[in-house]
Amino acid sequence: MYLRCSNPDCAARVEGQDRALQCPRCGDLLELALGVPLLDPEVLKRMWLERRCSFDPRDGSGVWRFREFLPGPYAPDEVVTLGEGNVPLVPAGKTAAWCGLKALGFKHLGWNPTGCFKDLGMTVGITDAKHRGAREVACASTGNTAASMAAYAARAGIKARVYLPAGAVSTNKLAQSLDYGAEIEEVEGNFDRALQVVLASAGPELYFLNSINPYRIEGQKTAIFSLLEQLQWRPPDYIVLPGGNLGNTAAFGKALAELKANGFIEKVPRLIVIQAEGANPLARAWKAKSEELQPMAEPETEATAIRIGSPRSWNKALRALRFTDGMVADVSDEEISEAKAMIGRDGIGCEPASATTLAGLRKLRCRGALGSDATVVAMLTGHALKDTDYIARRQATVQVAAGVCVAPRMERAVQWK
Ligand SMILES: Cc1ncc(COP(=O)(O)O)c(C=O)c1O
Ligand SMILES: [Zn+2]
């Protein structure tokens, strides 16, 4: 296992700098290169299933169960786990019809220990921090990363410092960081500013845990492993997810590339990334077929988890979208609110950022970008209780448009060529 530049045209191997985050040659983000697993895919698939009956704490984690594709090896008692990753794939009932699909599944990553998908990466990030003897970890956050890091750091006995945009984080998420005992720094400005501040303060003593940390990305990959296992390794046509800083898109792309390269799947599902209209730099770049992403100085959306104007993992995300022949779309705050209400009415619930997936699917179906019989899984990234102020403010009055959307115009979706 070693660190290398994530840009395949550079691919510089980074040696002797275990905590580097950027390529010293071209400045792109780094990734972990793992050795090829020694076991045959069918043997590993069976082994991963059998581990569900094991009492080893690592096997009780839906992340570490797939450890052949994770960094390490770490000693079993070094692994910091809260039993994350074991979340269901919930069939969507009314919701599928509402967005014009015959079949839709929600993989609810919000049903993780701290209510968010971040736990999948944090168990690996904090395990690595502990392994290296880190005394203090830090991150900038729109709330969820902070809550997750604070919880795992507390488990590991490591001090946690979180940088939050002042006044722009839901009370519930802030409460979680407080409850887990993190030190909180409020930064004037938005998430992008908070990230600049934490990056500037990172010294040799500080282990940095935003999603540009390649260890976190490795853990987040396992959402795809677990999903495909639940589907008995028959990939869906599409996997839909919200896009903020784009670390999750990068992780999903890496997971699919590794599973394909190692013979676990033949067909690669197409990734669909949905952003909020007011914080949509990736969607803009995609529409313009641009190779460069123009950051937005003042991102604005009520889905505060994805109020991010300068996503750090954009380059990795674009590569993931090209590899999977993916799509990008954006949706308004009204569309998000309506989709969120629909997910609630289906007895599932999620936080606003997660509802972008359903809102985006409905929009893409209406445009005829995907057919009604496509098999689709949407990733719900955060729990409904993550932002109760939003629910009180918005959801009491929201009207959910009745009826199924039928594609009125068969216009091509914004598709990369
Ligand atoms: C609930 C939720 N959904 C989606 C995202 C976006 O994920 P990413 O930043 O990896 O694109 C975040 C990030 O904070 C989040 O908290
Ligand atoms: Zn490079």
Question: How does pLDDT run across 222-255, given as a tens digit for each residue?
Answer: 999 999 999 999 999 999 999 999 999 999 999 9
Beta carbon of 243 within 6 Å of any ligand 1 atom: yes
Concatenate the DSSP letters of all residues of 203-257 into one string. -TTEEE-STTSHHHHHHHTHHHHHHHHHTTT---SEEEEE-SSSHHHHHHHHHHH
**Cβ count within 10 A of residue 119:** 29
Give the least confident one: 130-144, 170-184, 392-406. Answer: 392-406
Predicted local distance difference test score (pLDDT) of residue 415? 30
Q: Cα(84) to centroid of ligand 1, in Å? A: 17
What residue's CA is closest to ligand 1, atom 7? 244
* CA–CA dist 210, 247 (Å, integer): 9
Tell me the per-residue pLDDT of 89-132, one tens digit each, with 9 for 90 and over.
999 988 999 999 999 999 999 999 999 999 999 999 999 999 99
Ligand nearest to the CA of residue 25, numbered in listed order? 2
pLDDT tens digits along 401-412: 655 444 433 333
Structure tokens that stand for 329 in this block: 């779309």
Residue 177 Cβ contacting ligand 1 at under 6 Å? no
- Ligand 2 midpoint to CA 248 (Å): 21
Question: Comparing 186 with 36, which gets the higher pLDDT?
Answer: 186
Which is nearest to 231 in space by CA: 273, 261, 265? 265
**Where in the chain are the domains?**
1-33, 89-114+217-395
Answering whether pTM is above 0.85, one says: yes
> Exposed, middle or buried: residue 23 (CB in 10 Å: 0-12, 13-18, 19+)?
buried
115 lines ligand 1 (CB under 6 A): no
Any atom of ligand 1 within 6 Å of the Cβ of 121: no
What pLDDT, in 10s, does the model give residues 253-271? Answer: 999 999 999 999 999 999 9
Residue 118, classed as helix, strand or coil, is helix
Work out the pLDDT band at 200, boundaries 50, 70, 90: confident
Task: Domain 89-114+217-395: state its class.
Answer: alpha beta
- The mean pLDDT value for 151-174 works out to 96
Give the ligand with the smallest distance to the CA of 301: 1
Tens of pLDDT, residue by residue over 340-390, are: 999 999 999 999 999 999 999 999 999 999 999 999 999 999 999 999 999
Residue 367 sits at φ, ψ, to 5 deg, of -80, -5
Mean of per-residue pLDDT scores for the chain: 93
Q: List phi, psi (to 5°) of 380.
A: -95, 120
Residue owning the nearest CA to atom 9 of ligand 1: 245
Residue 82 or 1, more confident: 82
Rounded to a whole number of angstroms, the distance between the first and last alpha carbons of the chain is 33
Could you give the 3-state DSSP secondary structure of residue 278? Answer: helix
